[in-house]
Amino acid sequence: MKSASLSATLEKAVAGRSPWQDARARFLRNKAAVVSLALLAVITLACVIGPWLSPNQFDSADWNAMSVPPTFVNWHLFGTDETGRDLLVRCLIGGRVSLMIGALATFTSVTLGIVWGAVAGFIGGRVDNAMMRFVDMMYAIPYLLIAILMVTLLGREFYLVVLTITVFSWMDMARVVRGQTLAIRSKEYVEAARAIGVPTRRIIVRHVVPNLLGIVAIYTTVTVPGVILTESVLSFLGLGVQEPMTSWGVLIQDGVGVMESSPWILLFPAALLSITLYCINFVGDGLRDALDPKDR
């Protein structure tokens, strides 16, 4: 019994932790990343459920409290804008919209980039050359000008803003995935799968894509703040979501016009946007160190 118990203990010690457990442990040792993840979760939760808990509505005006600074009266904790709308609720609704656009546009652009880069890198040859020349052509198009043109022609609906941002945010992911795929396709297990006649599509799905998850996770956290910032720029230019719906970019645009007389209208949405972007960047740094500790 003792020998069996000792053998089991030795086997467990030799097996050790899985790579994902090691990555989790390294991530948890990064205090900045953990604090940023917790703060990002709090901001997201507040944006999701906060408007339901507030006694004020984001689109209703309090005509007796126009451009009021932060106060506990009527729970205007962030003050009100020039039409008497509660700024706290509008910041939370704006955060909900900005985070949703960031998440949806990032998901679609990352998915497109993974598929495009994996197919181009694995097949290679003329297919790879044609697909990557298309990516180069997309890079040559002036991004902001085309984004403004698309929003102007197609409208300012929520899904159109997501589509506009997605069209020009997948190329970096495609290039990164293509480079990693070129390295993976020469591995022994891929060559073995090819030798026994496994279809190309299945090799990409079962062998190539799973080995890209680490680098994809890192670049996803880089893409999210860029997407949110792009939405904010479009909204600041008046090309984002339409009133009465709002976003952090729309609120910042509103605050710039009255920053001298009512600075809190600009301060709160700008602070929330900045804190969110910093948190995402710190989480991305933590994932990079956890998933690829050689870069530390």
What residues pair up with 61 in beta bridges, in sequence order?
85
pLDDT reported for residue 139 = 87
Does any domain span residue 73?
yes
Is 66 in contact with 219 (CB distance < 8 Å)? no
**Half-sphere exposure for 250 (CA within 13 Å, toward CB):** 21
pLDDT reported for residue 129 = 93
Q: Which of 39-48, 112-121, 246-255, 281-290 has the highest mean pLDDT?
A: 39-48
Does any domain span residue 24?
no
pLDDT reported for residue 16 = 54
pLDDT reported for residue 17 = 61
CA-to-CA distance for 258 and 255, rounded, in angstroms?
5
Lowest-pLDDT choice from 39-53, 122-136, 186-200, 255-269: 186-200
Does any domain span residue 287?
yes
pLDDT reported for residue 10 = 41
* Average predicted confidence (pLDDT) for the chain: 83
CA-to-CA distance for 248 and 232, rounded, in angstroms?
6
Identify the band that residue 5 occupies on the pLDDT scale cut at 50, 70 and 90. low
In this structure, the number of other CB atoms found within 10 A of the CB of residue 273 comes to 23
Does any domain span residue 29?
no
Does any domain span residue 185?
yes
For 134-162, what is the mean pLDDT? 81
Q: Is the pLDDT of residue 164 over 60?
A: yes
Instruction: Tell me which amino acid residue 164 is.
Output: T
Comparison of pLDDT for 18 and 269, the residue scoring more: 269
Q: Which of these, 282, 266, 272, 270, lies nearest to 81 by C-alpha position?
A: 266
pLDDT reported for residue 235 = 81
Q: Is the pLDDT of residue 290 over 90?
A: no
pLDDT reported for residue 13 = 45
Please calculate the CA angle 110-231-75 and round it to the nearest 5 degrees: 120
* Domain count across the chain: 1
- Residue 71, both tokens: 């106060």
Non-local (6+) Cβ contacts of 207 within 8 A are: 184, 189, 190, 193
- Structural domain of 285: 40-295
Comparison of pLDDT for 154 and 170, the residue scoring more: 170
Q: Which of these, 293, 279, 238, lies nearest to 19 by C-alpha position?
A: 293
Q: Which of these, 276, 279, 240, 271, lies nearest to 255 by C-alpha position?
A: 271
CATH number of residue 276's parent domain: 1.10.3720.10
Peptide bond connecting 142 to the previous residue in cis, omega within 30 degrees of 0: no
pLDDT reported for residue 14 = 42
Is 49 in contact with 31 (CB distance < 8 Å)? no
CA-to-CA distance for 3 and 8, rounded, in angstroms?
9
Does any domain span residue 30?
no
The secondary structure of 265-295, three-state, reads: HHHHHHHHHHHHHHHHHHHHHHHHHHHCHHH
pLDDT reported for residue 46 = 94
Instruction: Tell me which amino acid residue 55 is.
Output: P
Is 76 in contact with 66 (CB distance < 8 Å)? no
Percent of the chain's residues with pLDDT above 70: 92
Kind and range of the H or E element at 132? helix 125-140
CA-to-CA distance for 21 and 295, rounded, in angstroms?
18
pLDDT, tens digit (0-9, with 9 covering 90-100), for 201-248: 888 777 777 778 777 887 888 888 888 888 888 887 777 787 778 889
Non-local (6+) Cβ contacts of 218 within 8 A are: 284, 287, 288, 291, 292
pLDDT, tens digit (0-9, with 9 covering 90-100), for 85-128: 999 999 999 999 999 988 999 999 989 998 899 889 888 889 99
Does any domain span residue 85?
yes
Does any domain span residue 110?
yes
pLDDT reported for residue 2 = 46
Q: Is the pLDDT of residue 296 over 70?
A: no
**Half-sphere exposure for 25 (CA within 13 Å, toward CB):** 7
